[in-house]
Structure formats: C-alpha cells, structure tokens
Amino acid sequence: MPESPTRSAPDRLRDREPAPHDRPAGGTPSGAVAPTPLLQPHEPHPFAAENLAGASGLLFVCEHGGKRFPERLGPLGLAPEHQEAHFVWDIGALELARSLSRAFDAPLLHQRYSRLLCDPNRRPDVPSYIPAEGEGVPVPGNRDLSDAERAQRTEEIWRPFHRAVAAELDRRCAQGRTRALVTVHSFTPRFHGVARPWEMGVLYDRDPALSPALYDAMARRLGDRAGRNEPYAVGPETDYTIPVHGEQRGLPCVEIEVRNDQLRDAAGVARWSETLAAGLREACAAVGIEIGQPAGSRQQQGKRA
C-alpha cells in the first residue's frame, strides 16, 4: 500500500508487514460477527513516536508510560484512588524517556494505554500479561475474561504497538541509524511491603557489552544505589521488548529502571536524565557503540558555523 505524505508516523508504521513473531494466528471465521472494537475511531492508536528524524544511534522505548483506558472499558473497575497507581503505569518514566530523547536527539517510541489492559512488555501467553490484581488490589475488568476478549486486547493494543516498533527498528537498522536499544521504566519504592533500596537498576540478560558497561558507569556514580538486575532481571517470562526487539536482532540493548519517588517532579526527571545520559555516553564509548554527538553539542556547532 503506498504511503501518503499526509499520514502520521503511527498510521504509516502500522500498515507495514508485521514481523513473523507479530503475525496473528488467525482471523474472524467466515460468517462470524466481528466483535465491537475496543478503540473508537476518535481514540488514539496505541503506538506513539517522537523525534523519528533524530540523528542519534540510540533508540528509546517506553512501554509502560501510558495510562489511558479505552472508553468502552473504562478504568477496569478500579476505584479512583488506584487509577494513578504504579501498577497502572510507570510513574515518571515517559517524562524521563522524553528528556533522554532530547538529550541525545534520539527517537522515542512509547505506548499510550495502561499496562493493565495487556502488558506491552510481556508475551501474551504468560499469566502476568493481563493481571487480575495489582499489588493485592483487584482489577475487576480483568477477571473471568473469555479467550475472545483476551485475543481482542492483543489484536487491538499489543500487536499494533509491537508491529510498529518492529517496523521502525527494521527501517532504522537497515539504514545503519540505530546501534543500540534502550528501554525506560520506573519502579515503586516498596512492593508488597518490602523496601527497595536501589535508586536505579540496570537490567539485562544476554546483552554481553552495553548493559554491563552501563551498570559499571552507574555504579561509579551511585555506588550501591545502583542495582545490577534489581529490582528485577530481564527474561522471556517477564519481558518482551529487550528479548525480542533487542536480543533477537543482535542489537546492543539495556533496560533502565529508576525508582519512581525520584521522578515525582521536573527537577528529579532532569537530574536523572543528566546522570543517565552521562552514564550511557560513557558505556557506549567503552564498548565502541557510535551514538553521535549530544544534541546540545550539535546545536552549539551550528551556531558557531
């Protein structure tokens, strides 16, 4: 299908051929009535992209930065006091990812809808994909779902997001423009009553170079306030973006987690963006990943020219 120059990036990307791991297993049987769509025509696409023309060799993804719910489903029966909780979205993560995107002049891809609908960083076949509760708080709208209801969330929310991420990575990698994938998350200071002492964590599994180098760079700055695979470790049961879009491509990749009490205001976001940007530059230089000059350096060179 020819691309129209007037169409948005999400519209163009979602029309591209999906990667093999993203293709639907089947469609609506002949003669069957299609289900009512989850998303109405005026509601936004799950995938959002910012700064696609960015010159950096880094590409940032923020899977849990969104907290929207489709109008048809509403907030899944959550009481108002729980609708902004950490299990609904990663508090402060999108603001941090945007700041890093600006610092590096790098593309940012993110998901607009709450992770409670269907977790964009999980495989659809794992139990935590559509959680029935969040840290002990029941999620009524996720209970007793039929197979068809689960599949609809996958087809309308999860699959379009990952199809678009894969398409953008295909495009940029083919052009030699993306050399490393960085995902940005936040975590709660206490989980099921247990305190988490780390202020940030560097998470990885099979990446042999960038991730360990970033941990070393952050540990030099933060000491034991930086965690290696804390408060989680990356793996195929608990993650999707890094294993599939990073490791399976052989692309250097790392997941960054920052404790969300550090990201509650603009000053905190700015402080962590500066600290992480310095660590990322040091780590990429240490392992020979070319990511280009910082955005500010290019702007100053342009002014001098």
Q: In the predicted model, is pLDDT for residue 304 greater than 80?
A: no
- Return the closest-CA partner of residue 257 out of 227, 295, 282: 227
pLDDT at 237 (0 to 100): 87
Is residue 14 in a domain?
Answer: no
Residues 237-267: tens digit of each pLDDT: 899 999 999 999 999 999 999 999 999 999 9
More confident residue, 130 or 294: 130
pLDDT at 11 (0 to 100): 39
Provide the number of structural domains found in the chain.
1
Beta strands 190-191; 194-195: pairing state: antiparallel
- Return the closest-CA partner of residue 67 out of 215, 160, 186: 186
Is residue 243 in a domain?
Answer: yes
Tell me the pLDDT band of 23, cut-offs 50, 70 and 90.
very low
- Give me the helix-helix angle, 266-287 and 93-104, nearest 10°: 50
Tell me the pLDDT band of 31, cut-offs 50, 70 and 90.
low
Which domain does 281 fall in, by range? 42-304
pLDDT at 3 (0 to 100): 32
- Return the closest-CA partner of residue 73 out of 85, 86, 83: 83
Q: What is the pTM of this model?
A: 0.87
Is residue 53 in a domain?
Answer: yes
Is residue 6 in a domain?
Answer: no
Indicate which CATH number applies to the domain containing 119: 3.40.630.40
Is residue 12 in a domain?
Answer: no
pLDDT at 9 (0 to 100): 40
Is residue 148 in a domain?
Answer: yes
Tell me the pLDDT band of 10, cut-offs 50, 70 and 90.
very low
Is residue 79 in a domain?
Answer: yes
pLDDT at 1 (0 to 100): 34
Is residue 13 in a domain?
Answer: no
> What mean pLDDT value characterizes the chain?
88
Length of the chain counted residue by residue = 305
